[in-house]
Chains A and B, each alone.
Chain A
Amino acid sequence: MSQLEIRNLSASIEGQEILKNLSLAVPKGEVHALMGPNGTGKSTLAKVLAGHEDYEVTGGSVLLDGEEILGKEPDEIAHAGLFLAFQYPLEIPGVSIANFIRAALQSRLAEGEKLDAPAYYKRLHEKMDLLQIDRKFSSRALNEGFSGGEKKRCEILQMSMLEPSYCVMDETDSGLDIDALKVVANGVNLMRGPDRGILVITHYQRLLDYIVPDKVHVMYDGRIVRTGDSELAKELESRGYDWVREELAGSPA
């Protein structure tokens, strides 16, 4: 029950089927990695989970702690506990990081309840220090003019402030230099725990050296074709995806 469970999910965009009967489960307390070649549908999966309106779900279900989230509005899904760290975080002119996160936290409070501002800023600054983000950034417009690495760090800042039950991180490692990668991995590792399930989408073993996954899934052409332990990621790193492709060609889908 306490898991993010994706059952036989199919979804398409503009009439083109991207997710094809995909099944995957991330229990609380575990970190799973999702790997797969470009264009295989990893970001599509992340956005479908988050309720993006552009995708048409043609079958299956997604349960968050047993509760169906397909068909819900993106903000309802967020409130149900799912967080998506974007592969390409958007620039939001005029809205500061502090105000953005504050509004996100406020939206989780009951009607009439107010966020304790000093406590909020104290926590925000602690998390920023941890992720080695200059505190001055809190008043900067969200992601506006940020470097690729700064944007990714800012996603993790939001994630750690919102403390979601389930995190889907879409290529958070791309664009990070080695030092930033360690800092971000450390931030994510601190969030690991029995009350949280994390799905890390990545192309590189490098990240998984720091965030060691409990399971690794290989996605190919809209479905999961292999699942293994962290050794699988190492195998992919050295052999690429061709062998997956060949194996699939040998056996009917």
Chain B
Amino acid sequence: MDSTEISSPEVTDLGGAFERHLALSVVPPRWKEWKRKHWDHYRELPMPRPREQSWRFASRIDFDPGGITLPSLAEVESSFPEIVGQSDLVREQAGRLVFVDNHLADRTELPAELVEKGVVFQPLLEAMERDPDLVERYLFQESTNLGSEKFHALHNAYTEGGYLLHVPDNVEVDLPFVVHHWHAMAGAGVFPHILVVAGRNSRLSVVDVQQSWQPDREGFICAVGNVFAADGARVFRKTIQNFNPRAVSFQLDTNNVERDTTVRSINLNLGSRRARFENEVRINGSGADVKLYSLTVAKDHQEFDQRTLQIHNAPHATSDLLYKNALLDESRTIFSGLIKVAEEAQETDAYQTNRNLLLNEQAQANSLPGLEIEANDVKCSHGATTSQLDPEELFYFLQRGIPRRVAQQLMVFGFFEEVIEQFDHEELEENLRALIREQFSGDVLAQPTPGAHAEPEETPAS
């Protein structure tokens, strides 16, 4: 590279990080070739600029993803016992994988019954050894159309940590598959790869938990999640992003949805200094029923940037998106969503709603809803609302002795409850409420108030 590239904030491969990574990588030779191809692609692609439509309202990219390092197994291994011990958000599960800075730290055995039925729930590297055909059919088949192509290419160049979940045709699994993706070391690049393949008429749910081990270590996390739901499949995906406030994170998801499928995805976004989330759904078969939910608590100076695309290529399908953001302090959120209905996708029902709750005047919620409809017989709507904690409402709370932060917390739980209930898993819901509650204590910008720990959960009236 020439010297002007080095002085720019967009430098790539500072000091040959990628070459070192490739030399140390244990993936099969074929995969190494893919890596190099993706790396070259990454270098060719321009760094996105805030004035581009797909980056509108996003703040300037102030990090250099080319300079990251991938910690070696030897560097992170000693943290495994502690981290695995903390990987307990969901205890009732069909199986669990724990990754730490791209390395597999722990796994549970799948119940024999599921193994017999052909269920695969494995780290990618292993799956590649055992069933290369299956992996190759789905791995790296997707990109993003929502603006982060360059980061997607970077992910593809580096990713090794990640898993394949494959539930074969007609197999139904009640309990969720749980995967923890941890960011542990300072300055680590983490590239979780999530590959969910649901066979015809299968049923599964999967929980991805993304966290930082330490509260103050920087990190660059770029996750890619690809769901393939075959005819009649029922897929429920739940993702929790709770990295520390110094991390920068990307989550680039696609969902390929075929005939008569039921696909749900829920995201809870709490962490990262800035977090970009791209979520694309492609409905390729009629009768599909898709619901996309997201909940975000933004505080301090966090920036959450959400871009969504609902593509209807087949008739008689429904997609319904509801993204809710609660903003505190001087945080920012961006929601940009597009519904695209192709000419042949008659009788489509497609909805898109972004609701923002502004709990501080300094917070900023941006909303860019959009529709592109080529079919003539459709029901589509999009809407964005922003409500505020009215000063008179706040005065009411305060007059009862309830401090500002607790008032905000109560409002947020009220705002979120209709979506939290959708998680449809009591233990997870309780743990998520606890995670959300934590967002309201020990804040940098919060005024310290005694007894600021209300219990918003309700016990049933007798």
Q: Which residues of A contact B (CB under 8 A)?
A: 50-53, 73-75, 77-79, 83-84, 86, 89-90, 92-96, 98-104, 106-111, 113-115, 117, 121, 125, 135-136, 138-139, 141, 158, 162
B421-460: CB near A (< 8 Å → 1, else 0) gives 0000000000000000000000000000111111111111
Question: CB < 8 Å: which of B391, B400, B453, B455 contacts A104?
Answer: B400
Could you tell me the distance between the alpha carbons of A138 and B400 in the complex, rounded to whole angstroms?
A: 17
Indicate whether A95 sits within 8 Å of B414 (C-beta atoms), given known contacts A74-B395, A75-B401, A103-B454.
Answer: yes
Whether A113 contacts B400 by the Cβ 8 Å rule is no
Whether A104 contacts B401 by the Cβ 8 Å rule is yes
Q: List the B side residues contacting A95 at CB < 8 Å.
A: 410-411, 413-414
* Those 10 A-B pairs whose CB atoms lie nearest each other, nearest first: A94-B414, A74-B398, A103-B454, A78-B401, A104-B400, A75-B398, A107-B401, A95-B410, A95-B414, A90-B396
Could you tell me the distance between the alpha carbons of A162 and B458 in the complex, rounded to whole angstroms?
A: 19
Tell me if B140 is interfacial: C-beta within 8 Å of chain A. Answer: no
Among A53, A89, A96, A141, the one with the most B-chain Cβ atoms within 10 Å of its Cβ is A96
Whether A115 contacts B459 by the Cβ 8 Å rule is no
Among B401, B403, B450, the one with the most A-chain Cβ atoms within 10 Å of its Cβ is B401
The interface on chain B, measured as residues whose beta carbon lies within 8 A of the other chain's beta carbons, has a size of: 36
Q: Can you give 7 A-B contacts (C-beta < 8 A)?
A: A51-B398, A95-B410, A99-B457, A100-B400, A102-B454, A108-B401, A162-B400
Q: List the B side residues contacting A114 at CB < 8 Å.
A: 455
Whether A139 contacts B458 by the Cβ 8 Å rule is yes
Whether A107 contacts B403 by the Cβ 8 Å rule is yes
Whether A93 contacts B414 by the Cβ 8 Å rule is yes
Q: List the B side residues contacting A107 at CB < 8 Å.
A: 400-403, 406, 449-452, 454
Could you tell me the distance between the alpha carbons of A141 and B303 in the complex, rounded to whole angstroms?
A: 30
Could you tell me the distance between the alpha carbons of A89 and B218 in the complex, rounded to whole angstroms?
A: 47
Whether A102 contacts B401 by the Cβ 8 Å rule is no
B residues 386-423 touching A (CB-CB < 8 Å): 390-393, 395-404, 406-407, 410-411, 413-415, 417
How many Å from the CB of B389 to the closest CB on chain A? Answer: 10
Could you tell me the distance between the alpha carbons of A50 and B404 in the complex, rounded to whole angstroms?
A: 15
Tell me if B462 is interfacial: C-beta within 8 Å of chain A. Answer: yes
Indicate whether A79 sits within 8 Å of B396 (C-beta atoms), given known contacts A106-B454, A109-B451.
Answer: no
Q: List the B side residues contacting A86 at CB < 8 Å.
A: 396, 399
Could you tell me the distance between the alpha carbons of A223 and B400 in the complex, rounded to whole angstroms?
A: 27
Q: Which residues of B contact A (CB under 8 A)?
A: 390-393, 395-404, 406-407, 410-411, 413-415, 417, 449-462
Could you tell me the distance between the alpha carbons of A123 and B392 in the complex, rounded to whole angstroms?
A: 28
Could you tell me the distance between the alpha carbons of A51 and B399 in the complex, rounded to whole angstroms?
A: 8
Among A92, A96, A107, the one with the most B-chain Cβ atoms within 10 Å of its Cβ is A107
Whether B401 contacts A98 by the Cβ 8 Å rule is no
Residue of A nearest to B398 (CB): A74
Q: List the A side residues contacting B457 at CB < 8 Å.
A: 99
Could you tell me the distance between the alpha carbons of A36 and B452 in the complex, rounded to whole angstroms?
A: 39
Could you tell me the distance between the alpha carbons of A86 and B457 in the complex, rounded to whole angstroms?
A: 26
Residue of B nearest to A93 (CB): B414
Whether A84 contacts B401 by the Cβ 8 Å rule is no
Residue of B nearest to A118 (CB): B459
Residue of B nearest to A117 (CB): B459
Whether A103 contacts B410 by the Cβ 8 Å rule is yes
How many Å from the CB of B419 to the closest CB on chain A? Answer: 12
Q: List the A side residues contacting B451 at CB < 8 Å.
A: 106-111, 113
How many Å from the CB of B244 to the closest CB on chain A? Answer: 25
Indicate whether A103 sits within 8 Å of B398 (C-beta atoms), given known contacts A94-B413, A95-B414, A111-B451.
Answer: no
Could you tell me the distance between the alpha carbons of A177 and B106 in the complex, rounded to whole angstroms?
A: 66
Q: List the B side residues contacting A125 at CB < 8 Å.
A: 461-462
Question: CB < 8 Å: which of A84, A136, A141 contacts B461?
Answer: A136
Q: List the A side residues contacting B411 at CB < 8 Å.
A: 92, 94-95
Whether A117 contacts B403 by the Cβ 8 Å rule is no
Could you tell me the distance between the alpha carbons of A206 and B225 in the complex, rounded to whole angstroms?
A: 68
Among A106, A138, A139, the one with the most B-chain Cβ atoms within 10 Å of its Cβ is A106
How many Å from the CB of B8 to the closest CB on chain A? Answer: 47
Residue of B nearest to A138 (CB): B461
Whether B414 contacts A90 by the Cβ 8 Å rule is no
Whether A102 contacts B455 by the Cβ 8 Å rule is yes
Whether B398 contacts A111 by the Cβ 8 Å rule is no
Could you tell me the distance between the alpha carbons of A53 and B404 in the complex, rounded to whole angstroms?
A: 14
